[in-house]
């Protein structure tokens, strides 16, 4: 029996890799425009890093991590997200001392042992960005502006930006108490998970999809009404900047994130097009995280998008790289001339294909069609003798006669590109 891939771990096949390259290239372009540099960190980290950052009582740490002991008996984990590793690197290499402001981006695979379904996988890919060193609400707005511009450049207008503030260690305890008191009165209506989490992570009840919990938490106290004056002013300023840059958003006071490190501004880009998996990108501020991991008190904010989910939203859009020219050949001399013409045209940056399978002329034309070549030419004895060739534009069949040399053919093919 042949060996198959592990459940929830997917191959990226050529039909889809164009989508991914477009997403990655667009992200690099937008991030660079906003002054971000790339960082690459390991896929495997010490388990403790994720327990201390994401939080012991989160679903990710409680249920979803790929954790194993290596041969030396160390507990290691395949990273379930990118922020923890990037902050570990920031501390380990003292990047905060080299520059008070660090703007970093990353892309790569993450691993969570969730139940696979459309848009949810066990190995999935994130593209993320993190800024450390700035507590100013302007940075929150800049990150949100960048996320919004990224989706604009991807041509995706549908995901809606929702924002919330989760307060800070000064105001969240009082909110938590108010919420726990509210939930205590509705104990019987809550699911087992939410009842269990009341002591450890009561905010998760606001995010629970079980219908009884959704109903029971209607009218629950809102974090936004419990913000201390500093958090309130911070959140108001973020919204002021978003207004100034005309970034569309809506408030979602029920948004709680599945990771414990968040403070103040949190956000999600949500879509109605992916069924149960509504978040395409998400992030927020994490002012205490670097200190919690043993570094200095450096504030931070960032986000990550799910590449698979963005690719699903791009849907049927074609990113296929079809050749500029297919050179069909008849006879050995033409084959040699076609090969050298191909080499010269490729050196000029054109995408050129020729026959490599010894196909008949008809077979070669079928291949040119399949590849959706923009232009096609047939080189045979006649063309070699005259040193001229008929160049056919495949879209409309228009033919022109050009000299059989790389400069003339390149000029005709690129000149035709804009028509
Ligand atoms: P997150 O909300 O856990 O946040 O994940 C971010 C995005 O990753 C989600 O919105 C979703 O698009 C994608 N994603 C998550 N899990 C899966 C999955 N099982 N399959 C497919 N896609 C998935 C974080 O990970 C934070 N580190 C984001 C952040 C960066 N916050 C601050 N900085």
Condensed to tens digits (0 to 9), the pLDDT of residues 42-87 reads 999 999 999 999 999 899 999 999 999 999 999 999 999 999 999 9
Is residue 106 within 6 Å of ligand 1 at its C-beta? no
Is residue 288 within 6 Å of ligand 1 at its C-beta? no
Q: What is the pLDDT of residue 347?
A: 96
Ligand 1 center–CA 159 separation, angstroms: 15
Q: Which positions ≥6 away from 75 have C-beta within 8 Å?
A: 46, 47, 48, 67, 68, 69
Q: What are the boundaries of each domain within the chain? A: 14-171+227-314, 325-416
- Assigned token pair, 94: 């003292």
pLDDT tens by residue, 112-146? 999 999 999 999 999 999 999 999 999 999 999 99
Give the integer Cα–Cα distance in Å for 316 and 12.
Answer: 16
pLDDT tens by residue, 310-328? 999 999 898 988 999 999 9
* Residue 60, CA distances (Å) to 1, 122, 210, 304, 362 in order: 34, 12, 19, 16, 57
Q: What is the pLDDT of residue 416?
A: 53
Task: Please report which confidence band the pLDDT of residue 380 belongs to, taking 50, 70 and 90 as the band edges.
Answer: very high
Q: What is the pLDDT of residue 371?
A: 96
Give the integer Cα–Cα distance in Å for 242 and 47.
Answer: 37
Q: Give the residue-averaged pLDDT of 182-208.
A: 89
Ligand 1 center–CA 391 separation, angstroms: 50
Residue reference for tokens 């927020």: 284
> Does CATH number 3.40.50.800 belong to domain 325-416?
yes
Q: What is the pLDDT of residue 415?
A: 86
Give the integer Cα–Cα distance in Å for 301 and 130.
Answer: 6
Nearest Cα residue to 259 out of 68, 79, 76: 79
Is residue 287 within 6 Å of ligand 1 at its C-beta? no
Which residue's CA lies nearest to atom 20 of ligand 1? 120
pTM, full prediction: 0.94
Same fold, 14-171+227-314 and 325-416: no
CATH architecture group of domain 14-171+227-314: 2-Layer Sandwich (3.30)
């Amino acid at each position: 029996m042949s060996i198959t891939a592990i459940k929830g771990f997917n191959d990226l096949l050529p039909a889809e890799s164009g989508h991914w390259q477009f997403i990655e290239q667009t992200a690099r372009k937008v991030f660079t425009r906003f002054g971000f540099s790339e960082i690459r960190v390991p896929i495997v980290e010490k388990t403790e890093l994720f327990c201390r950052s994401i939080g012991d009582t989160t679903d990710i740490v409680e249920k979803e991590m790929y954790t194993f002991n290596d041969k030396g008996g160390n507990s290691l984990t395949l990273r379930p997200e990118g922020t923890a590793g990037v902050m570990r690197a920031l501390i380990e290499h003292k990047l905060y001392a080299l520059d008070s402001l660090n703007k970093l981006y990353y892309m790569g695979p993450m691993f969570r042992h969730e139940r696979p379904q459309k848009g949810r996988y066990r190995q999935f890919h994130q593209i993320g960005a993190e800024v450390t060193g700035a507590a100013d609400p302007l940075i929150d707005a800049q990150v949100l502006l960048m996320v919004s511009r990224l989706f604009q450049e991807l041509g995706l207008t549908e995901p809606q930006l929702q924002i919330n503030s989760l307060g800070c260690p000064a105001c969240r305890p009082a909110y938590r108490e108010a919420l726990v008191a509210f939930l205590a009165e509705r104990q019987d209506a809550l699911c087992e998970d939410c009842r269990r989490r009341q002591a450890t992570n009561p905010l998760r009840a606001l995010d629970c999809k079980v219908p009884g919990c959704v109903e029971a938490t209607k009218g629950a106290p809102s974090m936004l009404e419990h913000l201390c004056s500093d958090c309130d002013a911070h959140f108001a300023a973020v919204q002021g900047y978003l207004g100034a840059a005309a970034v569309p958003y809506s408030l979602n006071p029920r948004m709680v994130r599945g990771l414990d490190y968040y403070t103040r501004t949190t956000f999600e880009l949500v879509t109605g097009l992916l069924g149960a998996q509504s978040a395409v990108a998400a992030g927020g501020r994490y002012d205490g995280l670097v200190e919690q991991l043993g570094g200095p008190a450096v504030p931070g904010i960032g986000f990550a998008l799910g590449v698979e989910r963005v690719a699903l939203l791009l849907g049927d859009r074609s990113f296929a790289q079809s050749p500029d020219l297919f050179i069909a050949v008849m006879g050995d001399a033409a084959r040699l001339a076609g090969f050298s013409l191909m080499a010269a045209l490729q050196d000029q940056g054109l995408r050129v294909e020729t026959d490599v399978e010894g196909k008949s002329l008809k077979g070669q034309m079928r291949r040119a069609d399949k590849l959706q070549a923009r232009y096609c030419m047939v080189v045979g004895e006649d063309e070699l003798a005259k040193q001229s060739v008929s160049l056919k534009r495949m879209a409309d069949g228009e033919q022109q006669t050009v000299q059989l040399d790389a400069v003339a053919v390149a000029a005709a093919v690129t000149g035709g590109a804009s028509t």
